[in-house]
């Protein structure tokens, strides 16, 4: 009977919800991709599966697909590309090196750069990132006419921390393109979490605060939009916290 007692206790606690699951830790996963790159479609598929399946225990994967513009001269101009996304990828050069700017590339929480098709390595990096402390960040997002209104509850900056900037993006799911030229000629490409806009906001201060922001919504964007906000070290490029929210009416 003494050997059975611990088992009975465990079952009882489980049945009553005594072992509540810990909240998942948000982990930012940036995919640098291009519709003009023949190696990129498998990475786009992988990003979609990471968003849909959330395969890493303890991690809330927050994806962003950033379409760079340096393939646009090869016969197909990526309609979702932006020079600002290329500039953001370049901003990682002091961390990863100038030679490590390529597509497809996934950057995990600003700390690890991995080829965007290496699924096992990417999942391992996400699991490692989820095991690290993150700052709390709360986000609400609503449509306000032709704009998105974001309400961001920002934490205080840790004492003696580097300068930490608040970043925001608007992403869109369910996009596709029928490519008629270039390396992916004849393919229909599907995308999720496509960055539509990227914004640099204020820096964290010594006290918590709530920030309200209005961002324009492009006429060609659909309604399947999300807001993503994250806290990023200016020097280290480490992501200290992240949050995402559907933009609702």
pLDDT tens sequence across 74-84: 999 999 999 99
- Neighbouring C-beta atoms of residue 119, cutoff 10 Å: 17
Mean pLDDT, to the nearest integer, of 55-83?
97
Position 6 scores a pLDDT of 41
Mean pLDDT, to the nearest integer, of 5-20?
43
Helix (H) or strand (E) run with residue 26 in it = strand 25-33
Structure tokens at 167: 């970043």
pLDDT tens sequence across 187-241: 999 999 999 999 999 999 999 999 999 999 999 999 999 999 999 999 999 999 9
pLDDT tens sequence across 84-120: 999 999 999 999 998 899 999 999 999 999 999 999 9
β-partners of residue 215 are 148
Give the CA distances from residue 234 to residues 62, 67, 161, in Å, rounded to whole numbers and listed in that order. 20, 22, 11
Is 9's pLDDT higher than 90? no
* 36 φ, ψ (degrees, to nearest 5): -90, 5
Domains observed in the chain: 24-246 (2.60.40.10)
Is 139's pLDDT higher than 70? yes
Compute the distance between CA of residue 184 and CA of residue 35 in angstroms, rounded to an integer: 7
Compute the distance between CA of residue 61 and CA of residue 105 in angstroms, rounded to an integer: 16
Q: How many angstroms from the chain centroid is the CA of residue 48?
A: 12
pTM of the model: 0.91
Which one has a higher pLDDT value, 117 or 5?
117
Position 20 scores a pLDDT of 58
Q: How many angstroms from the chain centroid is the CA of residue 6?
A: 42
Mean pLDDT, to the nearest integer, of 139-147?
97
């Amino acid at each position: 009977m003494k050997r059975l007692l611990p088992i009975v206790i465990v079952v009882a606690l489980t049945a009553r919800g005594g072992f509540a699951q810990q909240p998942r830790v948000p982990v930012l996963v940036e995919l640098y991709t291009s519709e003009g790159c023949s190696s990129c479609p498998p990475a786009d598929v992988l990003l979609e599966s990471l968003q849909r399946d959330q395969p890493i225990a303890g991690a809330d994967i927050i994806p962003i697909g950033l379409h760079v513009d340096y393939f646009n001269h090869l016969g197909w101009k990526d309609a979702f590309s932006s020079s600002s996304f290329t500039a953001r990828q370049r901003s990682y050069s002091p961390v990863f090196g100038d030679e490590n700017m390529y597509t497809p590339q996934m950057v995990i929480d600003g700390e690890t750069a991995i080829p965007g098709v290496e699924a096992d390595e990417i999942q391992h990096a996400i699991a490692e990132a989820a095991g690290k402390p993150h700052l709390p960040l709360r986000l609400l997002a609503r449509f306000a006419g032709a704009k998105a209104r974001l309400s961001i509850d920002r934490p205080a900056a840790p004492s003696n921390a580097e300068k930490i900037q608040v970043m925001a993006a608007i992403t869109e799911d369910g996009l596709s393109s029928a490519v008629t030229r270039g390396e992916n000629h004849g393919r229909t490409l599907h995308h999720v979490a496509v960055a539509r806009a990227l914004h640099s906001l204020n820096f964290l201060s010594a006290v918590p605060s709530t920030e309200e922001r209005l961002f324009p919504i492009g006429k060609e964007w659909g309604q399947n939009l999300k807001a993503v906000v994250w806290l990023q070290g200016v020097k280290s490029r480490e992501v200290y916290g992240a949050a995402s929210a559907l933009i609702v009416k």
